[in-house]
Amino acid sequence: MKLDVNALRYLTKDDFRVLTAVEMGMRNHEIVPAELVDRIAGLKHGGTYKVLRNLLKNKLVHHDATKYDGYRLTYLGYDFLAIKTLVNRGVFASVGRQIGVGKESDIFEVATEDGTVLAMKLHRLGRTSFRAVKSKRDYLRHRRSFNWLYLSRLAALKEFAFMKALGDHGFPVPTAVDCNRHCVIMSLVQGYPLVQVKELQNPDDVFDTILGLIVRLAEHGLIHCDFNEFNIMIDDDEKITVIDFPQMVSVSHRNAQMFFDRDIECIYKFFNKRFNLTSEENEEQDGSESDGEGNSRPSFLSVKKAAGSLDKELAASGFTRKEQVEMEKYIDEDAEGHDSGSDDDDEDHSDEPDCTLTSRDSGVPGTFSEEHGTSCSGENRLESSPSGSNGDAKEALESEGKMLSQEDEDNDDSSLDHDEEEEDAELTKKLNKQRKKAIAAAHGRRRPASSRNAYKDKGKGTMNSKIQRQACKW
């Protein structure tokens, strides 16, 4: 949407009051009812409806009457609110031409009262070419419902925080000045995007500088995730400035290595294609697997994280302070559990019965224990019993039936014994499945999801109650 600030000078205080009322109503309404806007604005004598018609004429709000009579803010109205607030703060006094456009933002020149030129970045998430932002970015975190204005505000706050922190640590980034809603004010970079540069005096030095920035960011705990020729500015002295930071993630992110390797690969491809760096091509073919520190391709695993990590300070995607505390607690509990578990294993191994004696009593040859790893489970003994005599097999089956269930005393028929074996195998599988789920839930530091049919487990004849009884008897 084209930003025309000429209408801004003709808007009155009541107009901005109604615009703010629509913004407040959009916190819990997709389309704000006209009655609610009137109630929040608090204008006398029905002046809200007259102001709404004026705002609708200037395309600052959108009218929707499909279900009820309501309004919502447009990006132009949101721009006017942010610009008005920053002008009242004295950040800038005038808005100039548009100097850049991207898939999720527009860049404009602004000037202060003393004539200093700054850059104003307006985030505009939700364009047709970039509507998968909910799945590709983590702006929402744990939230489910959203609108594009709110997502743009979150992206602006995130970029301002990253830019401020990186500038304080000496990275070549624009100077962050101020932020309001979806608008970020920063210093204007005197240079050109690297994608527009056809020749360089020292392409090798620029290439090494860019790779050094990627590694240095990783050492501070951050990965850019969009480090390419479009987000690198270079001036006449071949000094590098990095821009565009909302998508940055922590090195603790589960896909951090993939993002790091992708940034490195983008720089290699661009310099090989644009500036014909043949030495880098030979290095990629011959020396990429070498462990030398001279000219080898940067590796994510070889990056040493510095003491002061920015991902912890900024709660970057993939790493939060809460997750850090939980992870430290889990490591301590895991270490204690491992020590106690080793002692329990020693005691369990000392109390194990002799499998050879069991095999002798049941009439099973000694080779059975050797082939199956001296397994003493009831299922293996039941499966091996037909190899002996018929009388010994019946005795073994009866003994196993007494151990597994004391409720069923009639074990004379072979068909009943066969059914018991099938039920025991099914119960064993279910118990193993529940045990794996419990282990996975413990490693994931979350509670296992409760069953939807938990209210049915109270009965005596359910499968879960049978499983519990069999487990107690085992």
DSSP sequence for 143-176: -----HHHHHHHHHHHHHHHHHHHHHTT-S-PPE
| Catalytically annotated residue among 14, 138, 226, 261 | 226
Say whether 291 is catalytic.
no
262, two tokens? 């992708």
Q: What is the DSSP letter of 88?
A: H
- Angle at CA 31, nearest 5°, toward 28 and 32? 70
**Residue in this structure with the two tokens 């993002």, named with its chain if needed:** 259
**Residue in this structure with the two tokens 């097999």, named with its chain if needed:** 393
Dihedrals phi, psi of 275, to nearest 5 degrees: -115, 5
**From CA 17, how far away is CA 55, in angstroms rounded?**
11
For residues 315-338, one letter each, b for 16 or more C-beta atoms within 10 angstroms of the residue's C-beta and e for the rest, the string is bbbbbbeeeeeeeeeeeeeeeeee
Beta strands in 53-149 (DSSP E): 61-64, 70-73, 94-101, 105-111, 117-123
**From CA 249, how far away is CA 243, in angstroms rounded?**
15
- Classified as helix, coil or strand, 314 is helix
**From CA 420, how far away is CA 400, in angstroms rounded?**
10
Cite the active site residues: 226
